[in-house]
Amino acid sequence: MRILIAEDDQVLADGLLRSLRSSGYAVDHVASGTEADAALSSHEFDLVILDLGLPKMHGLEVLKRLRGRGVVTPVLILTAADSIEERVKGLDLGADDYMAKPFSLQELEARVRALARRGMGTASSIIKHGPLTFDQTGRVAYINDQMVELSARELSLLEVLLQRVGRLVSKDQLVERLCEWGDEVSNNAIEVYIHRLRKKIEQGPIRIATVRGLGYCLEKIPN
C-alpha cells in the first residue's frame, strides 16, 4: 500500500515515515499544500495523511481539490487539538477520519489499517484466497495454515494482487503502488518479484497469470 504524508513539521513527518515504513508501507512525504496538490494530481495513492495547517495551500483546499477531481482515496486529517471547526469542515469535505495532535503512533497505524480495509470494502484485516491467507496487520502470509517466508516487497506485491483478484494489474501500476519516489524499480525487477512470489505461493488452485505485454492477474478460484 502506498501512502502520502502531507505534513510540514519535519520531526513529526520523520516519525510517521519511520513508523509506517517499518510496517511495510511505501510512503512519500511533502511539506506544503501545493506539493500535496501536485502529488495527488499526478500519482495514485491508497491513503493520504493530511495536515490541515500546511503552508502555501491549506489542507482543506487540498482536500476540496482532491474530491473535486472525483478521487475517493481515503484521507486521514491531522488537526490541532482545539480545531473542532476545521475537523467538521474536513469531514464535510470528504475526509474519512481525523486525529488531533498530539497523538499515538500506535493509534495512527490502527486507523491507517482501518481506512485501508474500508477502501477495500472489507471489515477484516484477513484476506483469504483458497488455501492462502494474508494478514494485513501482522504482514504475514499462510498457505494451509503454514507460514510462507516472503520478503517485504513480495508481501506488498501479494497484497496488491489480492486486493484486485480477477483483475489485470499492469507493471506500471505495480511500480506505482509498491515504490516510493526515488526507488529504482524497473519493470524487469517486477518480473523478478513475480517469479519469486510464484515459486512460493503457487500451490493447488493459486495462480498468478501473465497477460503478455499487459500485466498480471491473481486468478479467481472457482466455487
pLDDT at 163 over 60: yes
Every domain of the chain and the residues it spans: 2-120, 126-218
- Residues in CB range of 74: below 8 A, 6 or more apart: 46, 47, 48, 96, 97, 115, 116, 118, 119
In CATH, what number does 126-218 get? Answer: 1.10.10.10
pLDDT value at position 56? Answer: 96
Mean pLDDT in the chain? 88
pLDDT tens digits along 38-90: 999 998 898 999 999 999 999 999 999 999 999 989 999 998 867 788 888 88
Kindly indicate whether the domain formed by 2-120 is annotated with CATH number 3.40.640.10: no
State the pLDDT at residue 120: 62
73 contacts 46 by C-beta, under 8 angstroms: yes
In this predicted structure, the answer to whether residue 123 has a pLDDT above a threshold of 60 is: no
CA distances from 219 to 130, 138, 168, 193, 222 (A): 11, 24, 9, 18, 9
Q: Which helix (H) or strand (E) holds 80?
A: strand 75-80
Extract the C-alpha cell encoding 41.
494530481
Q: Are 99 and 111 in contact (CB under 8 A)?
A: yes
Taking the C-alpha atoms of residue 223 and residue 221, their distance in angstroms, rounded to an integer, is: 6
